[in-house]
Amino acid sequence: MTDYGSDFLWIVILASLGLSALAVFFSISRRQRTHAPATYTAGEDVASEAARKVLREFEKNGQSVDAALVTWSPETLRKILTEDLPEAQVIVVSNREPYIHNIKDDGVELVVPASGLVSALEPITRACAGTWIAYGGGTADRLMVDEHDRVQVPPGNPTYALRRVWLTEEEYQGYYLGFANEGLWPLCHIAFTRPIFRESDWEAYEAANRKFAETVVAEARNERPIVLVQDYHFALLPRMIRERLPEAIVITFWHIPWPNSEVFSICPWRERILDGLLGSSIIGFHTQFHANNFTESVDRFLESRIERADAAISYGGQTTLVHAYPISIEWPAELLAKLPDVDASRATLRERFGLKADVKLCVGVERLDYTKGILDRFQALEELFIRHPEWVGKLVLLQIAAPSRGTLPAYKQLHDECHRYAEELNQRYGSNGYKPVVMVAEHHSQEQVYEIYRAADICMVTSLHDGMNLVAKEFVAARDDEQGVLMLSTFAGASRELLEALIVNPYDPAMMSEALLQALTMTPEEQRQRMRPMREMVRDNNVYRWAGSMLLDAARLRKRGELDRVTAVAERSANANIDNVVSMFERKRATAGPR
């Protein structure tokens, strides 16, 4: 063997020994870290201590059965933010704003919209002292903001900032009424209304999402905010935020159902929507079924890796968690304390609508929307009168149907059909001032809605397709007398939680009429046995648990990212040392020259 070959062999041997020594060192070091106390001396590597601390926190914050024993409250959320997400800025993005200012009688009127999304998110934003970004559509909204388009809310006791985004009438028509509500809304709901997709609406939708993304970036105090993106109005927003703030935690919650992949394929921009949503760190749905549908759509239309065991999708070098987070409400203890008792509420409502004291009152409360099954509810009432005519004159259906999207043809048609059917039922079965259907097409405050719940004998939630439907949970929460019967559609997400309700198929009027008869004849004791566990479920699984679950998952992602960064730094340092050893041998060989 030549001297040159001998030198090369020694180089290989020494390099191997060096690598072995490094491996042994790291192995011993890792074992020592596992058993070492949580303190370190001045001479220890601070980065190594940070890695140990992150790892312990990550292990501690894994899913635990103890989570069900936590009392979820605003204080719980604040504790999560303080301990698990220190110095994190929370930004909420939604189309609808929690407070609207309108010009009225030469003054400004404050309106708090009766919205399930707002009622769920408003207490969260208050608890987190965050920033809420929303479209400013009130006629006096521009008059009430400061030079940065912000207004502090709630009025009288401000706890967070509302940042308003301005859209032109053309942008709003295309983005909101067009693509979102004539396209995505019917696409995602099994209500047999054909979705309409226009190129101009898509362009407006894209432009509006971009405008909101710019606002998020402007409101972010650093590069690592936690952004809670709400609903189908912002499918492109997560990717746009990710491009500008790559270290942000983006949690997107899709409040409506997600269709199966065959239905979703109808959308001409399906890949763009999926790509936009996968800019999220976490995507949440009300039910696991909808989460599964989303995953199947991604699997069908995008080149991605589905990690089903971890409920995650790897796409474009990023991993997105896809989880079910059933939304809920804030337990209304303070609100109920302000309201009259059940008997007083009942008397007030009956006087308002001229109802006799001995009639049973059934209520429906929702927006006038074709997904809510209002016409099917009327059909079930008629079926009951045909099968059991003794109930004519003894039952009234009070339908609160707040006007919604009235400029769209499908909603105009629904409005006309509902009023026509109600009038037909009143003419057919009404007499001597008795009307079996009372239609009220007005917006109601939260206090008014809860008073209606408390006065009702039955609440009908007969959605043809729904994400969750918080009306069901609000009715249960309102009944501190543990009375009243909830009729709940099997196609509403709430039916997966409120199992003691009378679960019905709104497409089957005969079955619905029999359930209605069961509700009318149910004893007070059975009502109590059904209502009590539902109230416990809504109280324990409240909106703070919904938000807290997402924030805890966000904290785990952030800590995992920190651990990955620390590990990457350690690996680069180790590789640099190995490179230095090899280059030293190379320099020695070069200076020795050939032999």
Six-digit token pair at 245? Answer: 């703030």
The pLDDT of residue 69: 64
* Model confidence pLDDT, tens digit, residues 534-560: 999 999 999 999 999 999 999 998 888
Question: What is d(CA 143, CA 149) in angstroms, rounded to the nearest whole number?
Answer: 10
Do 438 and 353 meet the contact criterion of CB atoms below 8 Å apart? yes
Q: Is the pLDDT of residue 595 over 70?
A: no
Q: Tokens in use for 189? A: 């709901």
Tell me: pLDDT of 566 over 80: no
For position 71, what pLDDT does the model report?
Answer: 85
Q: Give the predicted TM-score (pTM) of the model.
A: 0.83
The half-sphere exposure of 64 on its side-chain side, counting CA atoms within 13 A, is 10
- Top pLDDT among 209 and 190 is at 209
Residue % of the chain over a pLDDT of 70 = 83
Q: Which two structure tokens, joined as six digits, stand for 460?
A: 């009908």
Gap between the Cα atoms of 141 and 130, Å rounded? 20
Average pLDDT, rounded, for the chain: 86
User: What pLDDT, on a 0 to 100 scale, did the predictor assign at position 577?
Assistant: 60
Least confident among 398-407, 490-499, 585-594: 585-594
* pLDDT value at residue 553: 93
Of 209, 210, 208, 230, the residue nearest 132 (C-alpha): 230
pLDDT for 16 equals 54
Q: Which of 198, 186, 94 is nearest to 137 (CA)?
A: 94
Distances in whole angstroms, Cα of residue 39 to Cα of each of 27, 32, 50, 52: 20, 13, 11, 11
Both tokens of residue 437?
């259907």
In this structure, of 40-49, 53-62, 379-388, the range with the lowest mean pLDDT score is 53-62
Q: Confidence class of residue 81 from pLDDT cuts 50, 70 and 90?
A: confident
Annotation: CATH topology of 335-540: Rossmann fold (3.40.50)
Residues 6+ apart with CB under 8 A from 563: 51, 54, 55, 58
Residue 63 phi/psi, 5° resolution? Answer: -60, 135
Residue 64 has pLDDT above 50, yes or no: no
Helix (H) and strand (E) counts for the chain? 21, 18
Could you tell me the two tokens for 579?
Answer: 């490179």
Rounded to 10°, the helix 543-592/3-35 angle is: 150
pLDDT at 482 (0 to 100) = 98
Q: What mean pLDDT is predicted for residues 379-402?
A: 97
CA distances from 355 to 148, 181, 361, 377, 423 (A): 51, 37, 9, 20, 17
pLDDT surpasses 80 at 51:
no
Average pLDDT over residues 388-396: 97
Tokens linked to 466: 């729904």
pLDDT interval class at 67 (50, 70, 90): low
Judged against a pLDDT cut of 60, whether residue 515 lies above it is answered with yes
pLDDT band at 46 (very low <50, low <70, confident <90, very high): very low
Let me know: does 158 contact 152? Beta carbons within 8 Å.
Answer: yes
φ, ψ dihedrals at 577, nearest 5° = -65, -40
Strand partners, 152: 161
Mean pLDDT of 324-352: 94
Rg (CA), the chain: 30
Q: Which alpha helices (DSSP H) does 431-542 contain, by range?
A: 446-455, 470-478, 509-520, 524-540
Tell whether the model's pLDDT for residue 42 goes beyond 50: no
Half-sphere exposure of 474 (CA within 13 A, CB side): 27
Per-residue pLDDT at 571 = 66
> What is the rounded average pLDDT of the residues 295-309?
96
Task: Quote the crossing angle between the two packed helices 470-478 and 116-128, to the nearest 10°.
Answer: 70
Write the burial class of residue 552 (CB in 10 Å: 0-12 exposed, 13-18 middle, 19+ buried): middle
Q: What is the pLDDT at residue 304?
A: 96
pLDDT digits (tens, 9 = 90+) for 230-279: 999 999 999 999 999 999 999 999 999 999 999 999 999 999 999 999 99
Distance from C-alpha of 198 to C-alpha of 235, rounded to nearest angstrom: 17
Q: What is the pLDDT of residue 573?
A: 67
Q: Identify the pLDDT of residue 186.
A: 97
Task: Check residue 393 and give its pLDDT.
Answer: 96
Mean pLDDT of 279-305: 97
pLDDT one-digit tens code per residue, 200-213: 999 999 999 999 99
Residue 272: name the closest of 184, 182, 174, 172 by CA.
184
Question: Coil, strand or helix: which one is 276?
Answer: helix
Long-range contacts of 53-56 (CB under 8 A, 24+ apart): 54/559, 54/562, 54/563, 54/566, 55/563
Q: Which of the listed CATH numbers 3.90.440.10, 3.40.50.2000, 3.40.50.150, 3.30.9.10 matches domain 74-324?
A: 3.40.50.2000
- Give the whole-angstrom CA distance, residue 175 versus residue 95: 10
Q: Could you tell me if 211 and 239 are in contact, meaning their C-beta atoms sit under 8 angstroms apart?
A: no
Distance CA 270, CA 268 (A): 6
Give the DSSP per-residue string, 421-467.
HHHHHHHHH-BTTB-SEEEE-----HHHHHHHHHH-SEEEE--SS-S
Q: How far apart are CA 281 and CA 356, in angstroms?
A: 55
Cα–Cα dist 306/332, whole Å: 40
Given a cut of 70, is residue 39 above it in pLDDT?
no
Q: Where do you find CATH 3.40.50.2000 in the chain?
A: 74-324, 335-540
- Distance separating alpha carbons of residues 105 and 407, to the nearest angstrom: 25
At residue 372, what are phi and psi to the nearest 5 degrees? -90, -10
Let me know: does 486 contact 502? Beta carbons within 8 Å. Answer: yes
Contacts of 446 (CB under 8 A, 6+ apart): 112, 114, 119, 335
Q: How many CA atoms lie within 13 A of 250 on its CB side?
A: 35
pLDDT of residue 441 exceeding 80, the answer is yes
- Structure token pair of residue 68: 């069900």
Question: What does the pLDDT read at residue 120?
Answer: 81
With both helix axes pointing from N to C terminus, report the angle between 3-35 and 46-60 in degrees, rounded to the nearest 10.
Answer: 50
Q: Are 501 and 530 in contact (CB under 8 A)?
A: yes
pLDDT tier, 576 (very low <50, low <70, confident <90, very high otherwise): low
